[in-house]
Amino acid sequence: MCFGAERAWCGTSVINQRDDEEKADQIPIMDKIYSHATKALVWLGEATDDIEQALGQFASLRDRFQAVEGQITCASSHYTEVGLPEIQDPIWKHLSDFMYRSWFQRLWVLQEVILAKHIIFVCGGQVLGFELLRSLSHEIFRTGASGYVELILHRPEDCRGFRTLIEVGTLRDEFSNLSLNPLYLLQSGRQYETREPVDRIYGLLGIMDKDIKQAVIADYSEEARDQYWRLYLLVGKPMIELGYLDLLMFAETYQKHLQLPSWAPDWSNKLRTEELPKHFHAGISPENSHDVEDLLLERFSRTLVADYTQMLSTTTGIFGYCKYPQDALEDYKYLRDCLLEWKKDGSGIILSQYHVEKHVAMYIKYIPSTWANRSFFVTDSGHIGLCSQSCQVGDVVCIFLSLKHTYTIRKGPEEVTFKLIGPAYTDGVMYGEAIEGRDTSKDEIFIIS
């Protein structure tokens, strides 16, 4: 197949993957290679005749999805009613098999797609544009069809390809708009596969800020591989200096190299707790006051869901965080009253679909994700909140000036040193209430080690 290219560069063929020195020489110029290329061709492997035929229907399938209003169910009749292929149609399995390919799970694909001017996917004899696959993936999530792929085909990871296309497309837009945050780029990279820990940085180096690039020298020596934590520090320090202070939010992981300080993330491991949303501004002067009555029950009801929820974006097709969209106290009271009424005589209660959907369902839905690997706490000053399960009695809840969240820290062996535990939701201070009109003479300076 010929694409009319006068000169071609093939990543896995031109670079000797077994030559560490050659890889170290090529990595610093990957951004120039991809950004100056006229086209980037992504080879996804061979395809059977059935899959090739299905690939030829992707554009039509995308158009049919775009005509669907709202969410669809897994009922076969509903699929055909809205103009989609019936649920038993083989195109769904072929679509799933296509998105399950290993390319969609590799970290290195991020900079390839983000930097390239024009991206073309080649699978067998079929050629597909990036924007077609991206928009098809968006429609699959927007309409809820992704649930069919996960539940009916019994392979939850099949949606990885859809998510990759949506996420990479968003990162690509942010890069072109000069708004790509390297911190969230590294966090996104945790979901992708690499051969070794150093590639968590090298695989994204081409799309990092200039100051961060300058701090890193690609090194695949045995010593550098064994001491990969030094690379994470090399990246972490300029990020702090550049003002990416939310780095602290990504520091607590399930496992962590013992040589890393508590504030530095180990990018080779997953976060211990789900990240808190960005709409809080605990260490920043409040934009407007959090107009709620300071009642214990209301505070408790907000804390149970950390005053946030996940919402599906209708523009990007991915989940983001926002403030809990309803009256948390009203939802909590309704749930509590239902449980108390049921407990009273054991006869059960009848809940209308309206009240279940409006109050109980949403509230219960977000408690498990909010509480995953977190514990409830009460401070000696009476504040309540959610913190990491690794917190202990005696740990301190603090507000760092200019940071969005509160954090828990633990006293170190020296008077002014503390160990960072992780971010926390602390009711009553998450919207800058403690910053406004504070007594600055009580501000403290200490060292996070």
Please tell me whether residue 429 adopts helix, strand or coil conformation.
coil
Residues pairing with 385 in the sheet: 377, 426
Nearest of 265, 318, 330 to residue 138 by alpha carbon: 318
Predicted local confidence at residue 318, as pLDDT: 45
Predicted local confidence at residue 264, as pLDDT: 95
How far is residue 71's CA from residue 75's CA, in Å, rounded to a whole number? 12
CA 74 to chain centre: 27
Predicted local confidence at residue 34, as pLDDT: 83
110, 192 Cβ separation under 8 angstroms: yes
What is the DSSP secondary-structure string of 49-102? HHHHHHHTTHHHHHHHHHT--S---S-HHHHHHTTPPPTT-THHHHHHHHHTSG
CB count within 10 Å of CB 416 equals 11
CA 209 to chain centre: 20
Predicted local confidence at residue 82, as pLDDT: 87
Which residues have a Cβ under 8 Å from the Cβ of 422 and sit 6 or more positions away? 249, 251, 252, 272, 273, 387, 388, 390, 391, 407, 408
Nearest of 92, 106, 144, 100 to residue 123 by alpha carbon: 100
Predicted local confidence at residue 315, as pLDDT: 39
How far is residue 215's CA from residue 24's CA, in Å, rounded to a whole number? 15
Predicted local confidence at residue 283, as pLDDT: 84
Please tell me whether residue 372 adopts helix, strand or coil conformation.
coil
Predicted local confidence at residue 278, as pLDDT: 75
Predicted local confidence at residue 57, as pLDDT: 93
396, 410 Cβ separation under 8 angstroms: yes
Bridge pairing between strands 119-123 and 40-43? parallel
Torsion, Cα 231 237 242 244, to 10 degrees, reads 80
Q: Look-up: residue for tokens 């509903």?
A: 78
387, 421 Cβ separation under 8 angstroms: yes
How far is residue 35's CA from residue 40's CA, in Å, rounded to a whole number? 9
Nearest of 400, 370, 369 to residue 386 by alpha carbon: 370
Burial of 412 (0-12, 13-18, 19+ CB in 10 A): middle
245, 238 Cβ separation under 8 angstroms: no
Burial of 338 (0-12, 13-18, 19+ CB in 10 A): middle
Predicted local confidence at residue 74, as pLDDT: 65
Question: Amino acid identity of 400?
Answer: F
Q: What is the CA radius of gyration of the chain?
A: 25
pLDDT in tens, the chain (449 residues): 455 555 555 655 456 666 777 777 777 788 888 888 888 889 999 988 888 888 999 999 999 999 988 878 766 677 888 889 887 888 888 888 888 888 999 999 898 889 998 999 999 999 999 999 999 999 988 887 776 655 555 455 556 788 899 999 999 999 999 889 999 999 999 989 999 999 999 999 989 988 898 889 889 999 999 999 999 999 999 999 999 999 999 999 999 999 999 999 999 999 888 787 777 788 887 655 444 444 556 666 767 666 655 444 433 444 444 555 556 667 767 666 665 554 444 444 455 555 555 666 666 666 666 777 888 888 888 888 888 999 999 999 999 988 989 999 999 888 789 999 999 988 888 888 888 878 888 888 888 98
Sheet holding 119-123, edge to edge: 40-43, 119-123, 126-129
Predicted local confidence at residue 365, as pLDDT: 65
Give the chain's count of helices (H) and strands (E). 20, 11
Predicted local confidence at residue 58, as pLDDT: 93
Q: Which run of H or E residues covers position 109?
A: helix 109-115
234, 215 Cβ separation under 8 angstroms: yes
139, 65 Cβ separation under 8 angstroms: yes
Q: Measured between alpha carbons, how far is residue 66 from residues 159, 163, 191, 210, 237 in Å?
A: 19, 18, 28, 39, 45
Burial of 152 (0-12, 13-18, 19+ CB in 10 A): middle
Vertex 237 angle, CA 236 and 241, to 5°: 115
